[in-house]
Amino acid sequence: MNRDTLEGQGRNLGGQVKEVVGKAAGDEQLQGSGVADQLTGSMQNVYGKARDFAKKRPMATATLAGVIGLALLNTLRGRR
């Protein structure tokens, strides 16, 4: 685990708490803020896991990036 993974998990947990408190209090703004925090935390967690993967498996990461790049190029060119 790295810093991004831990911070993402913490932000996600905090967002869950905010959402529950917002529901209980009938505060839609707090509830929405909690959902947004959960989304941000999940994305940061995924980013941290991707960084760990890239450090542990650099060749697999380069290959995956190349395949995604080729697929994107073919999609943008209209090729099937």
Domain assignments of the chain as residue spans, ordered by start: 3-77
Q: Is 27 helix (H, G, I), strand (E, B) or coil?
A: coil
Instruction: Give CA–CA dist 15/35, Å, rounded.
Output: 6
In degrees rounded to 5, what are phi and psi of residue 35? -65, -40
Mean of the pLDDT values across residues 2-16? 94
Mean of the pLDDT values across residues 59-69? 94
Place 79 in a pLDDT band, splitting at 50, 70 and 90: low
Contact 14, 42 (CB under 8 A): no
Question: Model-level pTM greater than 0.85?
Answer: no
Amino acid 78: pLDDT: 81
Mean of the pLDDT values across residues 8-28? 95
